[in-house]
């Protein structure tokens, strides 16, 4: 659960747009693959299944630096950035020829019936520390997520009322 793992992939034909570079939506797919692999290979999987919980992505931010071209190999490196009582934070590096092509930062939680689970309890059960504070820059990326959702809801309601 707290390891850094690395996997090598190749940009496939159906990963690309018309310009033969990997389309933005595929980066998130590769990020999901490696996060699920980390869960499946760790004690987290058993603890989550035993409790009937569902791991869920809460938010993600991606910075695209340079394109990954058709048929080229690239690595996805997953680093655990820490966790608190609710969220697990991960950093995903897309690397090719020792150069960062993109970086994705995610926060995820585990929940049951729309109620987030206390992550500290799960971490204790699997032998981890109760809390592993993420770097401030990672926390800052997600600071306004709730505010953005609330403002978006107001806009949607205003648009619905104007019809």
CATH number, domain of 97, equals 3.10.129.10
> Residues 110, 56: contact at Cβ < 8 Å?
yes
Residue 157 contacts by C-beta under 8 Å, 6 or more apart in sequence?
A: none
Residue 107 resides in a domain: yes
Residue 66 resides in a domain: yes
Structure tokens at 121: 């309890």
Q: How many separate domains does the chain show?
A: 1
Flag whether pLDDT at 160 surpasses 80.
yes
What percent of the chain has a predicted confidence (pLDDT) above 90? Answer: 69
> Residues 113, 81: contact at Cβ < 8 Å?
no
Residue 125 resides in a domain: yes
> Residues 138, 118: contact at Cβ < 8 Å?
no
Residue 144 resides in a domain: no
pLDDT greater at residue 71 or residue 120:
71
Residue 147 resides in a domain: no
- Full domain range(s) for residue 109: 5-137
What integer pLDDT is reported at residue 130 of this predicted model?
A: 66
Residue 149 resides in a domain: no
Structure tokens at 98: 């020792």
Q: In the structure, what pLDDT confidence band is assigned to residue 85 with cuts at 50, 70 and 90?
A: confident
Render pLDDT for 105-158 as a digit per residue (tens, 0 to 9): 999 998 888 878 778 788 888 887 767 889 999 999 999 999 999 999 999 999
Residue 158 resides in a domain: no
Q: How far is CA 123 from CA 73, 106, 108, in A?
A: 35, 18, 14
> Residues 64, 102: contact at Cβ < 8 Å?
yes
CA-derived radius of gyration, the chain: 18
Residue 153 resides in a domain: no
């Amino acid at each position: 659960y707290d390891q850094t793992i690395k996997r090598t992939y190749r940009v496939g034909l159906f990963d690309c747009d018309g310009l033969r570079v990997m389309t933005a939506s595929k980066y998130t797919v590769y990020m999901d693959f490696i996060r699920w692999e980390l869960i499946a290979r760790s004690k987290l999987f058993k603890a989550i299944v035993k409790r009937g919980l569902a791991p869920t992505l809460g938010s993600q931010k991606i910075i695209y630096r340079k394109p990954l071209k058709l048929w080229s190999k690239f690595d996805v490196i997953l680093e655990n950035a820490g966790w608190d009582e609710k969220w697990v934070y991960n950093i995903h590096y897309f690397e090719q020829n020792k150069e960062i092509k993109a970086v994705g930062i995610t926060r995820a939680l585990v929940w049951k019936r729309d109620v987030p689970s206390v992550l500290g309890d799960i971490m204790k059960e699997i032998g981890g520390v109760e809390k592993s504070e993420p770097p401030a820059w990672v926390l800052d990326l997600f600071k306004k997520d709730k505010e953005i959702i609330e403002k978006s809801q107001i806009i949607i309601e205003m648009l619905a009322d104007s019809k």
